[in-house]
Copies of this chain bind each other. A is one copy, B any other.
Amino acid sequence: MSIRAVAVVLAGGSGTRLWPLSRLQIPKQFLAVVGDCTLFDATVNRLAPLIARDDVLVVSSRANAMGEGHATLAPFSKLLEPVGRNTAPAIALAAARLVDEGDPIMVVLPADHVITNVPAFHDCLKTAIACAEEGRLVTFGIRALHPETGFGYLNARGDGHGARPVTRFKEKPDRATAERMLAEGGWYWNSGMFVWRASTILAAIKKYAPDVHAAIANIRSAAKTLGWQPAIEAHFAAAPSISIDHAVLEKSADVWAVPADIGWSDVGSWDAVHDIAQKDDHGNALQGAVIALNSQNTLVRGANRLIATIGVADLTIVDTPDALLVAGRGHSQDVKHIVAQLQQRDAREHIEHLTVQRPWGTYTVLQETPGCKIKSIVVKPGGRLSLQSHQHRSEHWVVTQGEATVTREADTYAVKMNESTFIPIGAKHRLENRGATPLEIIEVQVGSYVGEDDITRYEDQYGRVPGKSEAKQ
C-alpha cells in the first residue's frame, strides 16, 4: 500500500469475562480463544499484506509484557503503561510517538477481537485509510445485529460501502432503547477500531481533552532525554482515565464511519465464543480430550483432563487445571459474579493459572501443601532467572531435560539431566539455561512458608529489581 500506515495495537487490557480461561493476569488477547493462535497474533496476522509486522506499535502494560504476554509481545515495538488509563491516553501516547516518526496514518486496533472475514476487513481498512488521509477521524461501524446492551453505538447514514459522517453516539443503551435504535436503523456498534493520522488525533485530543494531552506532552518532552519508556514510567500515571470515545469522538464534528461487515466479535463471553466457533453437526464446539454422547449445542474447552458429556444441551464447559465452569447458554455473562465472589474470598483462581508465564519461561505448580510446594519449571534457551534468595524455604532442583547453569553463593556450576542440587534457605542463587534446548527442572520447595512473595531479587535481566532501571524491555 502506497500510504504508510502503522497499526497501533491496544493490548493493555485485563479481564476475566472468559474465566476460567482468562484470569486477571491472563487477559484474553493472549489466549487462543478461536483457533490455534492468540487473539493478539490473529490481530497482527490479519493485517498482512496491508501493514507489515515492523509497522506494528503495541501499547500494553508492564504486567502483560513481563507476564503472560511476554513471548507474544517480545518481537514488537512497545509502549508499556505502568497503570491502566483507558484508551484516550494510550492512543495519545502512540500518536505522540508517531508524529515524530513521519506522522503516519494510525490504525488503532484492540488486540482481543475476532474478525472472520479478512478480505472484507481489508476493503474497509483501505476505505478508512483513504478517508483518514483527508484529515478525518474514522471509526469502523459494525452493523448492529441484535439489541446488545453492552456496546456503544454510533449513528451514520449513507449509501454504499463508503465512509459516512457520524451524527450521533449512544453509550451502552438499555434494552428498550437498543431495540428502538435497531428499528430506527443507521445505528452501528462502535468496534473500537479507528483510523486517523497521528497528528490529526493528537490535535483533536489537545482540543477536546487538554488534560490527557498535557500528560502525554510531558512524556514526549521527557522522552527526548530519558527515552520513551522511562518517560512513560515517570509521567503516564498523571493522565486521567478516559476512553477516546468520551474524550474526543463524541465531541468532534468530523468523525466518519466505515460500515464494516467483517464477521466481527468482541468475544466478550463464552456464548460469543460458541457463536463464532466451528461446530459439528450437533452444534457442539469441542476442544480437548472430549467424549460427547447425545450432546447438543455445547461448547467444551478442555485442558489436560478427559471430559465426558452425556445427554446435555446448550452448555458451556470450560476446564482448566484449577477451576471448572459449567454454564447454561445465556448465562455466560454471569461469570463476572463468580469472579466477584472469588475476589471477596481472597481466592486465587481468578488471578492466574497454575502455569505462570515469566520472561525466562514458565512454571507450573504441581502440588502445594503447607510447608511444601512442587513446581515444574521450564527455562527457555538463554533464559535466566533473577539472582535471588528466600528467607523461609530451601529448594531441591532435579534437572529432567537439558542442562542448568546454577549459581549458588560464590559458585557457578552445571547440573545435567538426571542430576540434582540443593539451595539452602537464605542462599543467593540463580538458575540459567545457557543451552540451545529448553531446560526443565522439578523444584521441591520445603519451608515454613512457600508463597511467591518470599523472594529478594538482587539482579535481573528483565528489569524486575525494584529501584533499578530496566536492562531490557
Q: List residues of A whose CB falls within 8 A of some B CB.
A: 20, 291, 293-294, 305-313, 315, 317, 319, 321-332, 334-335, 337-338, 341-342, 347, 349, 364, 366-367, 371-372, 374, 376, 394, 396, 398, 400-401, 417-418, 420, 422, 440, 442, 444, 446
Is the pair A305, B291 in contact by a Cβ cutoff of 8 Å? no
In the complex where A306-B349, A374-B366 touch, is A446 in contact with B417 (Cβ < 8 A)? yes
A129 to chain B, nearest CB (A): 43
8 A–B contacts from the bound complex (CB under 8 Å) = A308-B327, A309-B326, A310-B332, A310-B334, A317-B326, A366-B374, A371-B401, A398-B446
A252 to chain B, nearest CB (A): 41
Q: How far is the CA of A294 from the CA of B333 in the complex (A)?
A: 13
The answer, among B291, B305, B341, B398, for a CB contact under 8 Å with A396, is B398
The answer, among B310, B319, B342, B372, for a CB contact under 8 Å with A327, is B310
In the complex where A334-B294, A335-B310 touch, is A326 in contact with B326 (Cβ < 8 A)? yes
Q: How far is the CA of A319 from the CA of B308 in the complex (A)?
A: 10
Is the pair A372, B401 in contact by a Cβ cutoff of 8 Å? yes
The answer, among B293, B325, B347, B400, for a CB contact under 8 Å with A310, is B325
Is the pair A312, B311 in contact by a Cβ cutoff of 8 Å? no
Q: How far is the CA of A170 from the CA of B331 in the complex (A)?
A: 48
Q: How far is the CA of A294 from the CA of B305 in the complex (A)?
A: 26
Is the pair A305, B330 in contact by a Cβ cutoff of 8 Å? no
Is the pair A305, B334 in contact by a Cβ cutoff of 8 Å? no
In the complex where A311-B331, A331-B310 touch, is A291 in contact with B338 (Cβ < 8 A)? yes
A393 to B, closest residue via Cβ: B418
Is the pair B308, A326 in contact by a Cβ cutoff of 8 Å? yes
Main secondary structure of the interface of A (DSSP, over half): strand
Is the pair A305, B326 in contact by a Cβ cutoff of 8 Å? no
A345 to B, closest residue via Cβ: B291
Is the pair A306, B324 in contact by a Cβ cutoff of 8 Å? yes
Q: How far is the CA of A305 from the CA of B400 in the complex (A)?
A: 27
Q: How far is the CA of A349 from the CA of B291 in the complex (A)?
A: 12
In the complex where A308-B338, A398-B396, A418-B446 touch, is A294 in contact with B324 (Cβ < 8 A)? no
The answer, among B20, B323, B325, B420, for a CB contact under 8 Å with A420, is B420
- CB-defined contacts of A334 to chain B, threshold 8 Å: 293-294, 310-311
Given contacts A293-B337, A311-B331, list 20 more A-B pairs with CB under 8 A: A305-B324, A306-B323, A306-B324, A307-B324, A307-B326, A308-B323, A308-B327, A308-B335, A310-B331, A310-B332, A311-B330, A317-B324, A371-B400, A372-B440, A374-B374, A374-B442, A400-B444, A420-B420, A420-B444, A442-B444
The answer, among B328, B341, B400, B418, for a CB contact under 8 Å with A311, is B328
A317 to B, closest residue via Cβ: B326
| 5 residue pairs, one from A and one from B, having the closest CB atoms | A311-B331, A311-B328, A310-B327, A366-B366, A398-B444
